[in-house]
Amino acid sequence: MMAFLYKADAVRGAEWARLFAVKAPDMPFHIWPDTGDAEDVRYLAAWLPPADIENRFPRLEILFSTGAGIDQFDLAALPPGLPVVRLAEPGVVAGMVEYATMAVLALHRDLPVYIRQQREARWAAHRVIPATQRRVGVLGLGVLGRAVLERLRAFGFPLAGWSRTRHEVDGVTCYAGDDELPAMLARTEILVCLLPLTAQTRGILDAALFRQLPRGASLVHAGRGAQLDHQALLDALDEGWLSGAVIDVTDPEPLPGNHPYWTHPKILLTPHVASMTQPETAVEQVLDNIRRHQAGLPLVGLVDRSRGY
């Protein structure tokens, strides 16, 4: 018996179970902590996998992350040959396109400023800058970064993107590698971070990086909390070097109640909701991958463990 085990958000899990019952009625589907016979578990979808997977599920064939990111997994602690697959499925991509567009437009159109003014009952108009004169740059040209740029292009923003390896994206000036990051930052007024968390990207949004942006620039952070130096952002905002930030991810999460971000007038804060995998499309991608695996075809969203993403 080839069984599927789900270990993540229970509400979405119930939806996964309903979808599996229709689309893969022959595959037993269990929701943690009910594992069924552990020897039968071939596929595990988890946000945080249980400890000691190797001994607990000796016949496991694929570990799926229920999210688009996999940094919550300790890759070194997983069986070396176990394929790890992330869910960069259409639902999570669409959600991030919405969030990043909302955040870029909010900063472009001075929403944090107008929210402050509204609280003070202050009617004061500021110059409207056309999108064609606002330079937006995206850190990460992966599934999410590229989809976000494609949507932002429609507004006419001059666009740039940065990745580890060289890319070509229509209508986007592409920069690659650490050597080209300064040039990308120097031309970017709204910076969007959509990088995966790795040893290389941990703490990347720091004081030195903010200094390389032009004065008055702003930040959208929807990657991972540990990429951001919290104090450096506060300093840059308070001294006026940065003008605003939309922050979706923090370290730690949840953010403690007394953290200055909650009340900072130049920060719009959301509780890691920029995007979520959607059961309907996620289950389709999982089942497609299981079929691919059984047919010996390459898996979609397979994580390259040597890169860490």
Q: Which residues sit at the interface with ligand NAP, rule CB under 6 A? A: 68-69, 88, 92, 96, 140-145, 162-165, 194-198, 200-201, 222-224, 248-249, 272, 274-275, 309
**Among the candidate windows 22-30, 61-69, 100-108, 298-306, which touches ligand GLV by CB under 6 A?**
61-69
* 44 within 8 A of 68, measured Cβ to Cβ: no
C-alpha distance from residue 266 to each of 40, 67, 106, 183, 241 (Å):
52, 29, 12, 26, 12
CA 241 from centroid of its chain's CA atoms: 26
For the segment 135-164, give every residue that binds ligand GLV (CB under 6 A): none
Integer Cα distance of 265 and 111 in angstroms: 11
Cβ nearer to ligand GLV, comparing 19 with 185: 19
Residue 264 designated active-site: no
C-alpha distance from residue 256 to each of 31, 100, 193, 197, 306 (Å):
30, 24, 22, 21, 34
Q: How far is the CB of 193 from ligand NAP (least distance, A)?
A: 9
Per CB under 6 A, the list member of 19, 92, 169, 246 interacting with ligand GLV is 92
**Residue with CB nearest ligand GLV?**
67
Cβ nearer to ligand NAP, comparing 89 with 110: 89
Q: How far is the CB of 98 from ligand GLV (least distance, A)?
A: 14
DSSP run (H or E) holding 244: strand 242-247
Residue 201 tokens read as 């990207």
Integer Cα distance of 34 and 269 in angstroms: 36
The active-site residue, picked from 134, 135, 146, 224, is: 224
The type of residue at 115 is I
**Residue with CB nearest ligand NAP?**
142
User: Is 91 near ligand GLV (CB under 6 A)?
Assistant: no
Residue from 207, 201, 198, 255 nearest 229 by CA: 207
Residue 224 designated active-site: yes
Cβ nearer to ligand NAP, comparing 165 with 258: 165
| Residue 143 contact partner, candidates ligand NAP, ligand GLV, none, CB within 5 to 8 A by sort of partner | ligand NAP
For the segment 266-285, give every residue that binds ligand GLV (CB under 6 A): 277
| Residue 48 DSSP SS3 | coil
**Among the candidate windows 5-13, 64-72, 158-166, 287-295, which touches ligand GLV by CB under 6 A?**
64-72
**Other Cβ atoms closer than 10 A to 186:** 12
- Just list the catalytic residues: 224, 272
Footprint on this chain of ligand GLV (rule: CB under 6 A): 67-69, 92, 277
